[in-house]
Amino acid sequence: MLVFPQLGTGASALYPVTKTSIQRTVVNTLGDGSTVVFTDPDAAAMAWELRASGLTAAEWNAIEALFQATSGMWQTFTFLDPTANLLLQSETFGATAWANGALIQLTTGIGDPLGTTRATQVVNAGETTLSVAQTLNVPGNFHYCLSVWARTTGGSSVTLAISTTGGNVTQTFSLTGEWARINVSGNPGQSTTQVTFEAQLAAGASVDLFGMQAEAQLAPSDYKLTGAKGGVCAKARFAADQITVTAQGTDVYDAVIKIVDTEG
């Protein structure tokens, strides 16, 4: 898998990051002078400008190696949007993006911490630990943070897990009747191309969950609602066939990196 590298600190990018949504409107002028205007979704794109100041030599070399491997703009790579929630359908745990345990029961329309009714009651009706889980095609050796709002009225706990074949990061949280945003952060440390993000419930447990979020960084940022598309851009490209880098010292590099995703 060709993937834009994570920084040595575990961050997904150096800030500031500029993200631009590119849209196209088609205007059809009729013979009588009137016009018909409609959007052209096939021309939509997302673009990022990363002002990477203070890169170490190792970090710059990793970016340059990817640039060489893709021949600049020619070949695509996976880019984990540093401004987005990587998960799909972040509030719709019954959507096909989620691979839940067979005896997980979901009840929607529950009051949430934002004052609406978008939370979900999750009940494990089985006799073993089951989970609400989503697997993404992302590197298994990146640092990730998984967060969610959770509460319980029955004394249940929940375990958040970031796992891949051969490695995992987990933490169990005792819950109360008040909403709390909980998170686990870590690097599974495996050279795989899939990572599973999940909330695990013990047999008989009942918890309310809202707004699950996965990010390629050390700690959670503000929550971002997602639908059919998350922050994993599997067909990103460099937006130019050259990158200008300035060496400020023996181990300090500055560069402006432009990336575009035409599936955005």
Q: Fill in the DSSP letter of residue 42.
A: G
Report pLDDT for 27: 83
Residue-level pLDDT at 31: 80
What's the pLDDT at 240?
A: 94
Q: With bands split at pLDDT 50, 70 and 90, how would you rate the model's confidence at 195?
A: very high
Residue 44 pLDDT: 73
Question: pLDDT, tens digit, for every residue of 135-193?
Answer: 999 999 999 999 999 999 889 999 999 999 999 999 999 999 999 999 999 999 999 99
pLDDT at 62 over 90: yes
pLDDT at 190: 95
The pair of three-digit structure tokens given for residue 9, joined into one six-digit string? 């600190």
User: How would DSSP label each residue in 81-113?
Assistant: -TTS--SSSTT-TTSTT----TTEEEEEEE--T
* Mean pLDDT of the region 32-45: 75
pTM: 0.91
- 69-106 pLDDT, tens digit per residue, is 999 999 999 999 999 999 999 999 999 999 999 999 99
Per-residue pLDDT at 113 exceeds 90: yes
Of 233, 199, 181, the C-alpha closest to 93 is: 199
pLDDT at res. 38: 74
Q: Which residues of 35-73 are buried (b: 16+ CB within 10 A; e: fewer)?
A: eeeeeeeeeeebbbebebeebeeebbebbeebbeebeee
Confidence at residue 45, expressed as pLDDT on a 0 to 100 scale: 82
Model pLDDT, residue 194: 97
pLDDT tens-digit readout, 217-229 = 999 999 999 999 9
What pLDDT, on the 0 to 100 scale, is given for residue 105?
98
* pLDDT at residue 264, rounded to an integer: 59
- Looking at residue 237, what is its pLDDT? 96
Give CA–CA dist 189/167, Å, rounded.
Answer: 6
Cβ–Cβ < 8 Å for 201, 182 = no
Tokens 């978008």 locate to 118
The whole-chain average pLDDT of the chain stands at 93
Query: What is the rounded average pLDDT of the residues 200-211?
Result: 98
Query: Which structural domains are found in the chain, ordered by start?
Result: 17-83+232-261 (no CATH), 104-215 (2.60.120.260)
